[in-house]
Structure 1
Amino acid sequence: MPFVLYLLGLAVFAQGTSEFMLSGLMPDIAADLDVSVPTAGALTSAFAVGMIIGAPLMAMLSLRWPRRRALLVFLTVFLLVHVLGAVTTSYAVLLATRVVAALANAGFLAVALATATAMVEPNAKGRATSILLGGTTIACVAGVPGGALLGQVWGWRSAFWAVALVSVPAVLAIWRSVPADGAAGLGADGGAGADTGSGVRGIGVGVRGELGALRTPRLLLVLTLGALVNGATFCTFTYLAPLATEVAGIGEGWVPLLLALFGLGSFIGVSAAGRVADVRPLQVLLAGGVALLAGWVVFALVAGGPGAAVVLVLVQGALSFAVGSTLISQALYAATGAPTLAGAFATAALNTGAALGPWIGGRAIAADLGYRSPLWVSALLVALALATAGTAAGLRRRGVTRGRIRGAAPGMADPAPTSLDR
């Protein structure tokens, strides 16, 4: 794998830390800016909405830019708004910085996914994706607990300064390591840009061409599955602290360690899936999806035992991110004609799940179903994902069989194969 992929992963680490670190900083932010805790909680919602909306919009904006320029612009904006967030005394300004940071994060991730998969062999998208997402998982392991610790020692603003400082070497590394001519160059006819010969293929098509390439049932299916699986993941992750303390009887002092354990599991899952997702994606998704469903059900049944809860936090973190990262790589395989927008819509789908899952879990808790209920919601969402995938597979087989019975040409009956068909 090219070393530059790990540098892109460093930037993703800083962005992942920023996205999740507020969970441990909310009371301090609320007290310092003289707002309620629920009002401060809107900072997290604003970031999620910015990611959902920003991923496709920022990706389309960047299509005519060289990739290095796009990466540098998005990451520099991300860095600067964290500096502004660290010094502002206005809640409104801080809220605005979260929206802008999310837009920059979404644009960066979309272009980074396209850049990473363009720098490797066509059949290595899963490994490239796992390196980038490894930055997010490391953020869960080290960045989020580290941000909480900084907030306790030096105040919540220090966590914002830390994110900005970590972004600096990533900016310099991208400037030095991503080829300047590895660009999204459109030809004079507005068509596909040629391979630059630099090792980074051009983004290839304009906005209209990439949007056309997204109209594939397989891609829509993968995006739907990604939203459901990620919704299940963050439904439980969001309420892991009260689940641990109120149901499992784990002391509050152990909650940061439990969060880090979930992050460790996610890192293991992404790393393991990256090694096999390019070769056996269907097996990873099927076996991993079934195991993920079983894990959520078992977790819901035995959540009252602290030992079982600790083990299952690690296991479910690994399974969730193994399946989720494989779905992202499959989105890129399913839309090879739209590498930037495919990554952008995959980002939007995952963040849609990350927003809806906790909301559904919160509704279940508000309905007096207890802190164990998010586990059942997670199980339900994964079951829905498996049912959706099974229904789609059945419809596809029926369509292929009907086409052959009618004597249709094989190219008309069978969808173009992707790695998911292996």
Structure 2
Amino acid sequence: MGRLWPFVVGSVALGLDAYVVAGLLPTIASSLDAREATVGLGVAAFTGSYAIAGPLLAGRAGRRSRQSLIVSLLIFTVANLATAFSPTVEFFLGSRVVAGAAAGVYSPLSSAVAAEIAGEVRRGRALALVLAGLAVGTVFGVPAGLALAQYWGWRAAILLIAAIGGAALAGTFLRGRDLPAIPASGARERLLSIARPKNLVTVTVTLLTGVASLGLYTYMTVILSSGSLASHQTLAIWVWGIGGAVGALGVGRLLDRRAPLQLSMVILGGLTFALLGMTQDQTAWILVASLFLWGMCGWASLAPQQHILLQANPADGATAVAANASANYLGSALGAIFGALLVSADATPTVLCISAASVAVLALLSQFARQHMSATE
């Protein structure tokens, strides 16, 4: 397990990169003499290229895992340096595309390699540990990056991402000798494997979970604006983040002892319950408990999904995991879009939370369908 730390550090950089730009839009737009909407395309450029590159390239890259991890991290780090020193908005957007594509290859491949290194007995802990890096980068890294930007400008926040990526690159280069190759089929077979009914259902569960959890998180300030925690929003976000860290780190041992499908259904039930609890905005302790449970279940949901896909796709695990990671990012983006439509229609915080809980119920029902497919084999 000690060999996995470079993958964890790399995941921290990816989690930070995916979300920190959204908080820097006004500053970046002013610096590059562009509209915020144009700079905002940088978020879509990163997540879009991530979603496309992962399933197409990660499987093939797994055949030479060490070289592929090093090259993808190198490209990711250089692309972030290019972002940090962007002279124009066009250069900025181009560098975001390249960084996202590199992240799309690195993230699922590092998870697949980590699972192979750890072996069957500790696979759940390995997946949870790597995914915990994403949680740490998102939950704690983003506020740190934004604080850094307040003192030294937005370019300093992007340089922080490059520095963390460089540390992961150095660790992979120095400690990543004799990494196992990850089985992969040809391009046509990889696309067909993603389209297999079981894989499609599993990826759909991840997509719906992303819509419900990360999509709603985008509008956290809206949800908290009129409730008992309205004057303690920063504290509330930290409660959500601590819950996320507990979930991401703690799910590993459970995953090594319990069937991933059943564990996933328990997590999705907990997420639904937490999102419904967020409607009780006048009762502070219920809100705090719901925030913690929401963060915990949302971030704990990814590792079981990856475990399910690795079990179901022994000949092409990296591609399946890449599709799952893409679904998570796509779900986050779709959730943000749907949330924007509701907010623009003057939807109340209660409506936002109930809508997200309804999507979580759909994810739970889809997981029941996935279990039925396994039971009828």
Q: Is the 2:211–2:331 Cα contact (8 Å) retained in structure 1? A: yes
Q: Is the 2:9–2:133 Cα contact (8 Å) retained in structure 1? A: yes
Match of 1:44 in 2: 43
Shift of 1:210: 4.3
Match of 2:237 in 1: 259
Q: Is the 1:296–1:375 Cα contact (8 Å) retained in structure 2? A: yes
Q: Cα–Cα, structure 1 residues 295 and 171, in superposed 2: closer, same or farther, change >3 Å?
A: same
Residue 25 of structure 1: SS of its match in structure 2? helix
Q: Which amino acid aligns with 2:361?
A: A
Per mean C-alpha deviation after superposition, the further-off stretch among 42-51 and 167-176 is 42-51
Match of 1:311 in 2: 289
Match of 1:75 in 2: 73
Match of 1:132 in 2: 130
Match of 1:289 in 2: 268
Q: Does residue 240 of the first structure (1) align with residue 220 of the second (2)?
A: yes
Q: Does residue 55 of the first structure (1) align with residue 68 of the second (2)?
A: no
Pairing 1:20-419 to 2, within 5 Å after superposition: 20-64=19-63, 66-179=64-177, 181-182=178-179, 200-203=180-183, 205-211=185-191, 213-214=193-194, 216-248=196-228, 250-251=230-231, 254-280=232-258, 281-300=260-279, 302-394=280-372, 400=376, 414=377
Q: Cα–Cα, structure 1 residues 56 and 246, in superposed 2: closer, same or farther, change >3 Å?
A: same
Q: Is the 1:125–1:333 Cα contact (8 Å) retained in structure 2? A: no
Could you list the per-position Cα deviations for residues 63-88 of structure 1 after superposition, in whole angstroms to 9, with x for gaps in the alignment?
45x21111111111111111111111
Shift of 1:35: 2.4
Shift of 1:304: 4.0
Shift of 1:344: 1.0
Q: Cα–Cα, structure 1 residues 61 and 160, in superposed 2: closer, same or farther, change >3 Å?
A: same
Q: Which amino acid aligns with 1:235?
A: G
TM-score by length of 2: 0.92
Shift of 1:215: 5.0
Q: Which amino acid aligns with 1:10?
A: V
Q: Which amino acid aligns with 1:241?
A: T
Q: Is the 2:132–2:248 Cα contact (8 Å) retained in structure 1? A: yes
Between the aligned residues of both structures, percent identity stands at 25
Distance 1:245 1:17 in 2: 25
Distance 2:372 2:182 in 1: 37
Higher RCO (C-alpha under 8 Å, 6+ residues apart): 2
Distance 1:305 1:51 in 2: 40
Q: Is the 1:20–1:144 Cα contact (8 Å) retained in structure 2? A: yes
Could you list the per-position Cα deviations for residues 226-250 of structure 1 after superposition, in whole angstroms to 9, with x for gaps in the alignment?
1111111112110112322344552
Q: Which amino acid aligns with 1:234?
A: L
Could you list the per-position Cα deviations for residues 340-394 of structure 1 after superposition, in whole angstroms to 9, with x for gaps in the alignment?
1011111111112111111111111122213443312210111111222334545
Distance 1:40 1:259 in 2: 25
Between Structure 1 and Structure 2, which shows a larger proportion of helix residues? 2
TM-score by length of 1: 0.83
Shift of 1:261: 2.9
Could you list the per-position Cα deviations for residues 196-238 of structure 1 after superposition, in whole angstroms to 9, with x for gaps in the alignment?
xxxx244354445544544543222211111111111112110
Shift of 1:258: 3.4
Q: Which amino acid aligns with 2:30?
A: A
Unaligned runs of 5+ residues in structure 1 are: 183-199, 401-413, 415-422
